[in-house]
Chain A
């Protein structure tokens, strides 16, 4: 396996005035290998989108490094850097409603990357846009329409075409299906899957829906309050979660099966995710953890291989 994106000790703080800062991403290290899909899950506000955007240079890094292959990506992107990396790394944005400019036609939206980052002429651009519309299951004659004329699922496809037309190698998909109906989610997931195979893409797939993430991903990473608490192959993380937070996530995930839901014990977690402004000392999950130990409130657990298995990492003193 060849590392494609290597994230080391990445930190992203947002200063929000009055000497307060949001610890949105706090010391995250993760290696994403060529051709794999890494699923990133975690509660709202845990820093998933910020991590994705910081990897791509859409936010400046507070500290830490991101390497693409062997090349260290800039701390702060300039226009020329976007120019240089746009063709290799792209993002599909969280919200299919607000992420498409309502005043641009579909052709302009999808073709924009080519116009900015390639020397294709306008005829070539139109051809490529038509080809990608077909590829994502829309029609070439949709080109002159505006985003509001499309359903949520269709807009998500437009977002996918826009990100993929440059044929990038690495794509951050930020909740590409959350706003969609079940029947349309399957369309979009299958579409991503087949394009991934065709183009040999590597994906960071951010989502809330654990069942879908397990289904889509090769590996899964679980984020809590800016930190990764567990990383590993998708099936073991989903079926035999090690971190108490992952355990609560998977046991809260309702399955479309009345019989197994009847036998599910109530597992409600107590408390709320703490504010990322006042990060508690020690393990960030300690206040809500059913298995908390005195040590957890003093020291911060680091991601370590679980039972010596380097593929499976967990940040929890239970496994020391």
Chain B
């Protein structure tokens, strides 16, 4: 169904061997993105967001990591575990990636312009001079002031927001078909965040690239996403168009996240509703639904059986992995699950 999309990941499972045992970091994850589309992946810390995209990029350290199943197809071709296609490394050329912490992925001993130029020399066969000139243009494109001068500076001479923009310039240098952005703005102020998000949207519009955006900020999701995948304990528990996931949330975890956030409404005096408890131990993932232990609507079956994807309608691809959506399930009203208490 999704294999004709630009990038499709199917049945991905990833484990890590650690002293404490085997961590099942990603358990059967499938998603796809098309050109010109932004997929946001949300979920709390440790749920497997980074590991998912690192697998696609061939960045999982093995050992301790191990991809135990799955495919990742770019234009129909499996790239999982073999990022070299037709003699070319698709990383950087076809798929660009922005990391959460720019300092870890930029080389502190090389000036910014040369770092961007390097990918162009490697992937596009530019001469050193052509590549550096293009690097300056790219820095202008991501709105670094005085780009020609800045290109000769080193990472430590850049502010956090400028580094993040320089990393975007590196990631898009070869005009990749897919841009993967792992928490690109988490460490930044809201004002700089707005700049970076606008920039990503402009680039998407101008080059029709696909974006996979990892974040745990639902505000960023609302601003950027066409499609949303909500991850919990290594699985996608709900996925669909952004409006479906926000306005017709179909998984208790999605509702829980929304109820935990303040609403910007001066009239509504509510109390935040936290999600009690903490995510399950991925050394021993629960037999049934990962969210079961924290779910206010858990049923007996949830404990023992992993819920399949229940389609929410015939016309969309909105699904929820929750037995409440089973056609025979007694109708529990999801919208009352985390009612925001009205305070006196």
B59 contacts the other chain (CB 8 A): no
Q: Mark B188-205, 1 if CB is under 8 A from A, else 0.
A: 111101110110000000
Contacts of A185 in B (CB 8 A): 260, 272
Question: In the complex, are the beta carbons of B262 and A212 less than 8 A apart?
Answer: yes
CB pair B271 A190 closer than 8 Å: yes
B260 touches A268 (CB 8 A): no
Q: How far is the CA of A257 from the CA of B264 in the complex (A)?
A: 10
A131-174 vs B, Cβ < 8 Å mask (1 yes, 0 no) = 00000000000000000000111000000000000000000000
**Which of B193, B257, B260 has the most chain A CB atoms inside 10 A of its CB?**
B260
Flag whether B221 is at the interface (Cβ < 8 A): yes
Selected contact of B222 from candidates A151, A153, A254, A272, CB within 8 Å = A254
Name the one of A184, A211, A254, A264 contacting B262, with C-beta atoms under 8 angstroms.
Answer: A211
Chain B positions within 8 Å of A260 at CB level: 222
Q: Check B191–A183 contact: CB distance below 8 A.
A: no
**Any chain A CB within 8 A of the CB of B275?**
yes
Known contacts A44-B160, A183-B256, A253-B219, A238 near B264 by CB under 8 Å: yes
Q: Which of A44, A190, A252 contacts B274 (CB 8 A)?
A: A190
Residues of A within 8 A of B195 (CB): 268-269
B130 contacts partner chain A, Cβ-Cβ < 8 Å? no
B191 surroundings in chain A (CB, below 8 A): 43, 248-249, 252, 268-269
Cβ of A16 under 8 Å from chain B: no
Contact B189–A256 (Cβ < 8 Å): no
Task: State how many residues of chain B have any CB contact under 8 Å with chain A.
Answer: 45
- Given known A182-B260, A186-B273, contact A258–B162 (CB-CB < 8 A): no
Contact assessment for A43 and B219 in the assembled complex, using a CB-CB cutoff below 8 Å: no
CB distance from A256 to the nearest CB of B (A): 4
Query: Shortest Cβ distance from B29 into chain A, in angstroms?
Result: 20
- Any B CB within 8 A of the CB of A15: no
A256 to B223, CA, bound (A): 8
Chain A residues near B123 (CB-CB < 8 A) = none
Report if A255-B194 is in contact (Cβ < 8 Å); known contacts: A182-B44, A184-B274, A215-B272: no
In the assembled complex, the Cα of A309 lies from the Cα of B308 at a distance in Å of: 59
Across the interface, A183 reaches (CB within 8 A) one of B44, B246, B264, namely B44
| A256 touching B246, Cβ below 8 Å | yes
Smallest CB gap from B277: residue in A? A183
Pairs across A and B, CB under 8 Å, 5 listed: A249-B190, A253-B219, A254-B217, A261-B223, A269-B191
A267 on the interface (CB 8 Å rule)?
A: yes
What chain A residues lie within 8 Å of B45 (beta carbons)? Answer: 152, 181
Which residues of B pack against A, CB within 8 Å?
A: 44-45, 145, 159-162, 188-191, 193-195, 197-198, 216-223, 225, 242-243, 246-247, 256-262, 264, 266, 271-276, 278
Contact (Cβ within 8 A) A261 B222:
yes
With A182-B44, A208-B190, A269-B194 known, 10 other A-B pairs at CB within 8 A are A181-B45, A182-B216, A182-B261, A186-B275, A187-B274, A238-B264, A253-B219, A254-B193, A268-B195, A269-B191
Contacts of A264 in B (CB 8 A): 223
- Report the minimum CB–CB distance from A234 to chain B (whole Å): 9
- Give bound CA distance, A254 to B247, whole Å: 17
Decide yes or no whether A266 CB sits under 8 A from chain B.
Answer: yes
The answer to whether A186 and B274 have CB atoms under 8 Å apart is yes
Chain B residue with minimal CB distance to A189? B272
A151-B256 Cα distance, complex, nearest whole Å: 20
A257 touches B246 (CB 8 A): yes
Chain A: CB-nearest residue to B194 = A252
- In the complex the two chains form, what is the Cα distance from A49 to B195 in whole Å? 25
Chain B residues near A252: list those with CB within 8 A. 190-191, 193-194
* Assembly CA distance A186 to B220 (angstroms): 18
Identify the closest chain A residue to B253 (Cβ).
Answer: A183
Among the listed B222, B261, B276, which residue makes an inter-chain contact with A211, where contact means beta carbons less than 8 Å apart? B261
Q: Which residues of A contact B261 (CB under 8 A)?
A: 182, 186, 211, 256
Query: What residues of A have a CB within 8 angstroms of the CB of B273 in the complex?
Result: 186
Q: Which residues of B contact A255 (CB under 8 A)?
A: 219, 222, 264
Quick one: given A182-B257, A208-B190, A248-B191, are A254 and B220 in contact (CB under 8 Å)? yes
Contacting pair A214 B274 (CB below 8 A):
no
CA distance A183 to B43 in the complex (A): 10
B169 to chain A, nearest CB (A): 16
Q: Are A214 and B260 in contact (CB under 8 A)?
A: no
**Cβ-closest 3 pairs across A and B:** A254-B219, A215-B262, A186-B274
